[in-house]
Amino acid sequence: MKIAYPDEMKKIDRRTIEIGVPSIVLMESAAIAVANEIMKKMPKKVTLLCGRGNNAGDAYAVGRHLLANGVEVFAVMLAEPSTKDCRKNYRLFRRFGGNVIKFCDLKKHWNKIKESDVFVDGIYGTGFKGDLSSEIVELLEAVNKIHAFRVAVDIPSGVDGKNGEVRPTAFKANLTVTFGLAKPGHFFYPGRAFVGKLKIINIGFPEKFMTEEASLNLLTDKEASELLPSRPPYGHKGTFGKVLTIGGSEDYSGSVVLAALGAIKVGAGMVFTFTPEKVQSVVRNNIPEVIALAGNKPHLAITDLESILSTLSKVNVVIIGPGIGRKEETFELIKELLIESSARKIPVIVDADAIHALKSLNHDQINWENIVITPHPGEFSSITERKIEEVINNIDLVKEFSKKNKINVLLKGATSIFSSYTGEIWLNTTGNTGLAKAGSGDLLTGTIAGFIAQGIDMKAATILGAYFMGKAAEMCEIYEASMSASQVSSVYSKIFKHLNTIRASTGKIGGNHET
Binding site membership for (6S)-NADPHX: which residues? 125-131, 154, 323, 376, 442
Burial of 133 (C-beta count, 10 Å sphere; 0-12/13-18/19+): exposed
DSSP string, 404-434: HHT-EEEE-SSSEEEE-TT--EEEE----GG
Q: In what order do the strands lie in the sheet with 371-373?
A: 2-3, 216-218, 425-428, 416-419, 408-411, 371-373, 348-350, 317-320, 242-246, 270-275, 291-294
Cβ-contact 341, 313 below 8 angstroms: no
Helix (H, G, I), strand (E, B) or coil at 134: helix
**Angle of CA points 280, 269, 283, to nearest 5°:** 15
Write the single-letter amino acid at 494.
K
Cα 380 from Cα 374, distance rounded (Å): 9
Annotated binding site for K(+): 55, 121, 157
Annotated binding site: 55, 121, 125-131, 154, 157, 323, 376, 412-416, 441-442
Annotated binding site for AMP: 412-416, 441
Cα 452 from Cα 295, distance rounded (Å): 26
Number of alpha carbons in the 13 Å side-chain half-sphere of residue 513: 19
Give the CA distances from residue 330 to residues 225, 343, 423, in Å, rounded to whole numbers and listed in that order. 39, 20, 31
Q: How many CB atoms lie within 10 A of CB 191?
A: 25
Dihedral angle of Cα 155, 160, 165, 170, to the nearest 10 degrees: -50
Cα 222 from Cα 495, distance rounded (Å): 12
Q: What is the CA radius of gyration of the chain?
A: 26
Give the CA distances from residue 172 to residues 112, 120, 168, 175, in Å, rounded to whole numbers and listed in that order. 20, 11, 12, 9
Give the CA distances from residue 196 to residues 156, 192, 208, 295, 412, in Å, rounded to whole numbers and listed in that order. 9, 8, 29, 52, 23
